[in-house]
A = this chain, B = another copy of it.
Amino acid sequence: MKLLEDRIRQDGTIKPGNVLKVDQFLNHQCDVALFDQMGAEWATIFACKPIDKILTIEASGIGIACCVARHFGDVPVVFAKKSQSINLDGDQYVSKIYSYTKQREFPVIVSKRFLTAGEHVLLIDDFLANGKAMNGLIEICKEAGVVIEGIGIAIEKGFQEGGRELRAAGYDVQSLAIVKSMDPDQGTIEFA
């Protein structure tokens, strides 16, 4: 998606350790008009797929998923939680992930009431790198018996293994921008 690639080039910054900061528009400050256009793009890509629900993970996936849901007939958005709360009770699907950006392990929690066997689900997230977060969501989907119709990613780090592994496993991964390489010294970025 050229619009997103241009925006990453314009407002993204590259940090040592292959960190791409896009907090100016994606995951701290949110450009909702951009999210809306991303939703339109995925709606075109997944037009032939029946989508009953969008599943994402807190926190950065939520805003994107909520803007995207409009383009799929206002389907419900469910966001997996990363910590227990007194508001979470009853039966839960729980998996575990390691977050590189937070440098610790998190639970991934979804109430069993919000995933029903046979439902057709679209997974959405802001980033795909090593695929840890997405694999946590997939594990929960498998346990719930829902059908994963596709995976929509805003920015995929194409030089890490997450996207390759998910596609090899048969998932329809649609990343709107795939970073092929980044150079922190030059500040340049190459897309696939």
Q: Which residues of A are at the interface with B, using a C-beta cutoff of 8 A?
A: 15, 17, 19, 21, 23-24, 27-33, 35-36, 58-59, 62-63, 65-67, 69-70, 74, 76-79, 81, 83-89, 100-103, 110-111, 113-114
Contacts and interface: CB of A to CB of B under 8 A. Distances in A.
Contacts of A63: 62-63, 65-66, 77, 79
Given A19-B86, A27-B87, A28-B111, 18 more contacts: A17-B86, A23-B111, A23-B114, A24-B113, A28-B114, A30-B62, A30-B65, A30-B69, A32-B69, A32-B70, A36-B70, A59-B62, A59-B81, A63-B79, A67-B67, A85-B102, A86-B103, A87-B101
Contact of A30 (B32, B78, B103): B78
A80 to B, nearest CB: 9
Contacts of A79: 28, 30, 59, 63
B31 A78 contact: no
A33, A62, A88, A103 interface centre (most CB from chain B within 10 Å):
A62
A21 B67 CA distance: 24
B111 A76 contact: no
A67 B71 CA distance: 13
Contacts of A36: 70, 74
Contact of A85 (B35, B58, B83, B101): B101
Contacts of A103: 86
Given A81-B59, A87-B23, A76 B28 contact: no
